[in-house]
Amino acid sequence: MEKLLDELIFLQKEKLLTLAKRLIPHITPDDLLQPNDFPDLELNPYFRYEEGILEGMMSVRMAFLAERQVR
Protein backbone atom coordinates (compact mmCIF):
# COMPACT_ATOMS: atom_id res chain seq x y z
CA MET A 1 0.00 0.00 0.00
CA GLU A 2 2.83 2.41 0.84
CA LYS A 3 4.41 1.85 -2.58
CA LEU A 4 1.08 2.55 -4.29
CA LEU A 5 0.59 5.77 -2.32
CA ASP A 6 4.14 6.88 -3.12
CA GLU A 7 3.53 6.26 -6.82
CA LEU A 8 0.24 8.17 -6.80
CA ILE A 9 1.88 11.09 -5.01
CA PHE A 10 4.78 11.11 -7.47
CA LEU A 11 2.39 11.15 -10.44
CA GLN A 12 0.30 13.93 -8.93
CA LYS A 13 3.43 16.03 -8.31
CA GLU A 14 4.37 15.55 -11.97
CA LYS A 15 0.86 16.57 -13.05
CA LEU A 16 1.02 19.67 -10.87
CA LEU A 17 4.44 20.66 -12.24
CA THR A 18 3.24 20.17 -15.82
CA LEU A 19 0.24 22.41 -15.16
CA ALA A 20 2.41 25.03 -13.46
CA LYS A 21 4.86 25.03 -16.38
CA ARG A 22 1.99 25.85 -18.75
CA LEU A 23 1.36 28.98 -16.71
CA ILE A 24 4.98 29.80 -15.79
CA PRO A 25 7.48 28.05 -18.10
CA HIS A 26 10.55 28.65 -15.89
CA ILE A 27 9.02 27.29 -12.67
CA THR A 28 10.88 24.59 -10.73
CA PRO A 29 9.60 21.82 -8.44
CA ASP A 30 10.99 23.78 -5.46
CA ASP A 31 8.91 26.79 -6.50
CA LEU A 32 5.79 24.69 -6.04
CA LEU A 33 6.50 24.55 -2.32
CA GLN A 34 5.50 28.24 -2.18
CA PRO A 35 2.95 28.72 -4.98
CA ASN A 36 1.65 31.86 -3.28
CA ASP A 37 4.82 33.58 -4.55
CA PHE A 38 3.37 33.26 -8.06
CA PRO A 39 0.04 35.07 -8.62
CA ASP A 40 -0.62 33.01 -11.77
CA LEU A 41 -0.64 29.88 -9.61
CA GLU A 42 -2.21 31.40 -6.53
CA LEU A 43 -5.25 32.59 -8.46
CA ASN A 44 -5.65 29.59 -10.78
CA PRO A 45 -8.54 27.40 -9.57
CA TYR A 46 -7.44 24.37 -11.60
CA PHE A 47 -3.92 24.54 -10.13
CA ARG A 48 -5.36 24.94 -6.62
CA TYR A 49 -7.69 21.97 -7.18
CA GLU A 50 -4.83 19.72 -8.30
CA GLU A 51 -2.71 20.97 -5.40
CA GLY A 52 -5.55 20.00 -3.04
CA ILE A 53 -5.63 16.50 -4.53
CA LEU A 54 -1.89 16.19 -3.83
CA GLU A 55 -2.31 17.40 -0.25
CA GLY A 56 -5.09 14.86 0.29
CA MET A 57 -2.93 12.04 -1.02
CA MET A 58 -0.08 13.04 1.27
CA SER A 59 -2.49 13.15 4.23
CA VAL A 60 -3.70 9.64 3.45
CA ARG A 61 -0.09 8.44 3.27
CA MET A 62 0.71 9.99 6.66
CA ALA A 63 -2.39 8.43 8.22
CA PHE A 64 -1.54 5.03 6.73
CA LEU A 65 2.03 5.16 8.06
CA ALA A 66 0.87 6.30 11.51
CA GLU A 67 -1.69 3.50 11.68
CA ARG A 68 0.90 0.94 10.62
CA GLN A 69 3.27 2.07 13.41
CA VAL A 70 0.58 1.61 16.05
CA ARG A 71 0.07 -2.04 15.13
What is the tens place of the pLDDT at every residue in 9-53?
999 999 999 999 999 999 999 999 999 999 999 999 999 999 999
What confidence score (pLDDT) does residue 70 get?
A: 84
- Is residue 71 very low, low, confident or very high in pLDDT (cuts 50, 70, 90)? confident
Label residue 47 exposed, middle or buried (CB < 10 Å: 0-12, 13-18, 19+): buried
d(CA 55, CA 64): 14
pTM comes to: 0.90
> pLDDT by residue (tens digit) across 29-41?
999 999 999 999 9
